[in-house]
Amino acid sequence: MVKTKHWVPLLPVLVFVGIVLILGRSLHLENRDTLPSAMTGLPLPSLVLPSLSGGPVNTRELKGEVALLNIWATWCPTCLAEHQYLNQLTQDHDLPVYGVNYKDDPVKARAWLAELGNPYVLNLVDNGQLAVHLGVYGAPETFVLDAQGIIRYRHVGELNERVWSSRLGALVESLREEAGVR
């Protein structure tokens, strides 16, 4: 009786160890930032949206090359951090990045690009029509499109050196090879 009583207080410790193991594992799980996207494997929905530079663009035209589709906004703090990396990425890798300026003020957006540099091939102005189809949680999010304009991967959150070197870089390379073979 006495002995059982003595071991009871170990129970919280054990439960806690379990919780820590789970938390630690989810912290290091490879695809921590990937959300299953229902759109993976499907082409972009066909929409005609205005672009920041002027004329309307059909989303189906965004193909021909492996590319990134980056959802961003000037009201999004993380996008500011991400922006510098995007500038560097497009310089280093010769990779087209299509921007989706999400629920934003086009005037501010243009000023932001003029000031901080423009890594984008073009920028769609989206008040949510496209984002709803893509199931966007918030900015920033980045989708990887293959040469046929099909969504192959979704990354939620900031795109940075770590994300690129651990996942996106390799994926983009393999998609490019795939496109080259065809």
Partner 1 sequence: MIAEIGHLALWLALFAAAGQVFSGALGVTLRHGILMAAAPAFALTQAVCAALAFVMLALAFLRDDFSLAYVAANSNSLLPEFYKLAAVWGAHEGSFLLWILIMSLWTLAVAMDTRLPLIAFKTAMLVVMGALSCGFLLFSLLTSSPFDRLLPFSPVEGADLNPQLQDFGLIVHPPMLYLGYIGFSVAFAFAIASLWLRPPDAETLRWLRPWTNAAWCFLGLGIVLGSWWAYYELGWGGWWFWDAVENASLIPWLAGTALIHSLAVSEKRGFFGQWTLLLAILVFSFSLLGAFLVRSGVLISVHAFASDPERGLFMLIFLVVVVGSALLLYFFRFPPSIAGNYGLWSRETFLLTNNHLLAAAAGTVLLGTLFPLVYESLSGGRKLSVGPPYFNLTFLPLAGLLALALALGPLMRWSRTPVRIILRQVAWLTGISLTAGLLLPLLLSDAFNPSLMLTSALAFWIFGGLWMVIRHESFVRNPSASRVGMCLAHAGFVVCLIGVGFSSTLSQSKNVLLNSGQETTLAGYHFRFEGVVRQRGANYLADVGILKVSPPPLLGWFSRSAIDLRPEKRLYPVRGNVMTEAAISPGLWLDLYATLGSPVGEGWSMQLHYKPFIRWIWLGGVLMALGGLIPLFGRRYRRVARES
144 close to 152: Cβ distance less than 8 angstroms: yes
| DSSP code for 103 | S
Query: In terms of DSSP H, where are the helices of 96-148?
Result: 106-116, 129-134
Nearer to partner 1, 30 or 94 (CB): 30
Nearer to partner 1, 36 or 180 (CB): 36
Nearer to partner 1, 60 or 80 (CB): 80
Report, in Å, the least distance between residue 102 CB and partner 1.
Answer: 11
Neighbours of 93 (CB within 10 A): 14
Report, in Å, the least distance between residue 47 CB and partner 1.
Answer: 16
Residue 75 neighbours by CB under 8 Å, 6+ apart: 103, 104
Nearer to partner 1, 78 or 148 (CB): 78
Question: What backbone phi and psi angles, to 5 degrees, belong to 126?
Answer: -125, 125
Contact residues for partner 1, defined by CB under 8 A: 5-6, 9-10, 12-13, 16-17, 19-20, 22-33, 35-36, 74-81, 103-108, 111-112, 115-116, 125, 127, 137, 156-158, 162
